[in-house]
Amino acid sequence: MSKDTGPYVCGLDAAMDVVGGKWKALILWALHDGGTLRFGQLKRQVPGVSEKMLIQHLRELEADGIVHREVYREVPPRVEYSLTEMGEALNTALGPLGAWAHQYMDQILAAKQRDVA
Partner DNA sequence: CCGTATCCCATTTGATACTG
Partner DNA sequence: CAGTATCAAATGGGATACGG
Residues at the contact surface with its own copies, assessed by CB under 8 A: 1-2, 4-6, 8-20, 25-26, 28-29, 46-48, 63-65, 86, 89-90, 92-105, 107-109, 111-116
36 binds, among DNA, its own copies, none (CB under 5 to 8 A by kind): none
Q: What are phi and psi of 76, to 5 degrees?
A: -70, 155
Q: Which of 4, 33, 85, 115 binds DNA (CB under 7 A)?
A: 4
Three-state DSSP class for 104? coil
Q: Distance between CA 49 and CA 58 in Å, rounded?
A: 12
22 binds DNA (CB under 7 A): yes
- Name the minimum Å distance from CB 50 to DNA: 5
Rg (CA), the chain: 16
Other Cβ atoms less than 10 A from the Cβ of 35: the count is 14
